[in-house]
Amino acid sequence: MDNQTDKTIIEVLAESIDIPESTYDKAEQRYKDLGKWLGRDGSVCASHSPHVFPQGSFRLGTVVRPISGEDEYDLDLACELQKGMAKSTHTQEQLKNLVGVEVESYRNYRGIEDEKEEKHRCWRLLYGDDIKFHMDIIPCIPEEEQKRQNIRAAMTKQGSEELLAETVSAFTVAITDDRHPHYRSLADEWNISNPEGYARWFEFRTKLAQRFLEKRILVAKATNIDELPTYRWKTPLQRCVQILKRHRDVMFIEHLEAKPISVIITTLAAEAYEGETNVDETMRNILRNIESLVSRQSPRIPNPVNPAEDFAEKWGTREGLSMRLEDNFWMWVEQAKTDFEIIKSSDNLQFITQQATEKFAASPDVSILKGALGVAVPTIMVKPKSHNITNPAKPWMNIVDV
């Protein structure tokens, strides 16, 4: 599986926008360092057994390189205070401020110059040395058992396996949000989230590629796949999510606020996945089935680990309608189908390299591309365009009305 001549063009593109494992390692070092600080003797959070863990693309192994070298990585973290805090004893504001005290002390401890920034749900630190990270730290507490059981029942009703529903629902948490009507008062109703449960669900879908993962285990000399961090799995599903997100980023580079959000792309790709061991087959299957996975009724795209939540909820809001979020999603799907078919059907190295630059802001290794093509090709190449693009040639952008 590591033979370069066995790779497809789309797989080569995906690998070219992946981040080095050293960047994943650096992210892991940073969130573990923060967690150690919050749990140290003298921390105001220590008695609450703080648990800091990653969420989002770093947790799923689907991070892509920034298009511009000036861009920063978003390292999304959750800080769960596991003991001694409940909705009946603390408000969301109190929880957030408690974590904020230690985030500030950590900033001073590590000599981070930029002030911490308060967002609606989280605290943000700009951790910049050799690799720039935005660390978004969202405070949370374990959700009540009855609500976890309700989610478990909703998942099984939707078709999830009983064991999966039981496993992932147990990770449900209640989070802070200063827009919540009861943010400053004791209340039973908080916003809920489940980043770890979502990651476990995504891994469950990924593990459909059993034969692929068996090869990964052999290459890594591991006993089973769970010994490896998810980012080292490099499955076709993960690769497709990476390249779909990059295609989206380039297409909407001038309208970032109106682009399809990553959790929608990731969820639909994972639901469409059927265990293919080839990136091309996986991409073809995702793009062929994605339309059927969007419901005509609410919830349009339910959260697989909380079916009552609609990831596409913003589509029908006044703001979403003004930005044409649903229209932009479907426009992106059709453009992705076209662009992937064009690049996959060509055997012209120069054309493929140009498409990689224009549609994916990617610079794939020419020698590996030659192996993927498996044909004799000229070695005189047109110099790729810079990825620091501000107005790339994208004819579809003139119909994105925001």
Question: What integer pLDDT is reported at residue 375 of this predicted model?
Answer: 57
3-state secondary structure of 50: strand
Backbone angles phi, psi at 192, to 5 degrees: -115, 160
| pLDDT digit string (tens) for the chain, length 402 residues | 445 546 888 999 999 999 999 999 999 999 999 999 999 999 999 999 999 999 999 999 999 998 876 678 899 999 999 999 999 999 999 999 999 999 999 999 999 999 999 999 999 999 876 778 889 999 999 999 999 999 999 999 999 999 999 999 999 999 999 999 999 999 999 999 999 999 999 999 999 988 888 888 888 888 888 888 898 899 999 999 999 999 999 999 999 999 999 999 999 999 999 999 999 999 999 999 999 999 999 999 999 999 999 999 999 999 999 999 999 999 999 999 999 999 988 889 999 999 999 999 998 888 888 888 875 544 444 444 444 444 443 433 443 333
333 token code pair: 């799907």
In 65-194, where does DSSP find H-type helix? 92-109, 145-158, 162-169
Q: Do 99 and 79 meet the contact criterion of CB atoms below 8 Å apart? A: yes
Question: What integer pLDDT is reported at residue 1 of this predicted model?
Answer: 43
Backbone angles phi, psi at 148, to 5 degrees: -65, -40
- CATH fourth-level superfamily of 21-194: Beta Polymerase, domain 2 (3.30.460.10)
Q: Do 192 and 147 meet the contact criterion of CB atoms below 8 Å apart? A: yes
Question: What integer pLDDT is reported at residue 376 of this predicted model?
Answer: 52
Domains in the chain: boundaries: 1-18+234-402, 21-194
> pTM of the full predicted structure?
0.90
Q: Which residue(s) pair with 80 in the sheet?
A: 51, 140
In 18-161, where does DSSP find H-type helix? 21-38, 57-60, 92-109, 145-158
Question: What integer pLDDT is reported at residue 118 of this predicted model?
Answer: 97
Q: Contacts for 105-110 with beta carbons within 8 Å, 24 or more apart?
A: 105/37, 105/43, 106/34, 106/37, 106/38, 109/37, 110/33
* Angle formed by the axes of helices 349-360 and 236-251, nearest 10°: 70
Strands 191-193 and 117-118: unpaired
| C-alpha neighbours within 13 Å on the C-beta side of residue 232 | 17
Question: What integer pLDDT is reported at residue 132 of this predicted model?
Answer: 81
Q: Do 192 and 168 meet the contact criterion of CB atoms below 8 Å apart? A: no
User: Among 86, 83, 90, which Cα is nearest to 49's?
Assistant: 83
Question: What integer pLDDT is reported at residue 394 of this predicted model?
Answer: 44
3-state secondary structure of 235: coil
Cα diameter, the chain: 71
d(CA 84, CA 168): 23
159 φψ region: left (φ > 0), alpha (ψ -120 to 50), beta (else): left
Question: What integer pLDDT is reported at residue 80 of this predicted model?
Answer: 98
d(CA 241, CA 180): 32
